[in-house]
Amino acid sequence: MLVLSRKPNESIIIGDNVEVKVVEVRGEQVKLGITAPRDIPVHRKEIYDSIHKQNLSAVQKKHTNLEKLSNIFKKKKDPSQ
């Protein structure tokens, strides 16, 4: 991993068009400003990690009784059923 030291208001450029700027450092928190083209998604890593985790816990061996789940769902949507 490339490690660079930066001060507030200094930035780094990744490729031709992604700029990451240190906006503020306060205690343990660093605020970063990211300028990137609209077609480059920027996510907090925890979000990716939590989607990964959620997918892993959603995977099924087909034992879930979907009919029962379906009945409860329909009852919830329309209690008269």
Instruction: Give the binding site for another protein (CB under 8 A).
Output: 38-43, 47-48, 50-70, 72-73, 75-76
Q: Which is nearer to another protein, 1 or 59 (CB)?
A: 59
Q: By three-state DSSP, how is residue 24 classified?
A: strand
List residues bridging with 52 in a β-sheet.
none
**DSSP 8-state secondary structure symbol assigned to residue 4:** -
Structure tokens at 24: 């503020």
Q: Which is nearer to another protein, 25 or 66 (CB)?
A: 66
Q: How many CA atoms lie within 13 A of 26 on its CB side?
A: 4
Q: Which is nearer to another protein, 26 or 38 (CB)?
A: 38
Rounded to a whole number of angstroms, the minimum distance from the CB of residue 10 to another protein is: 26
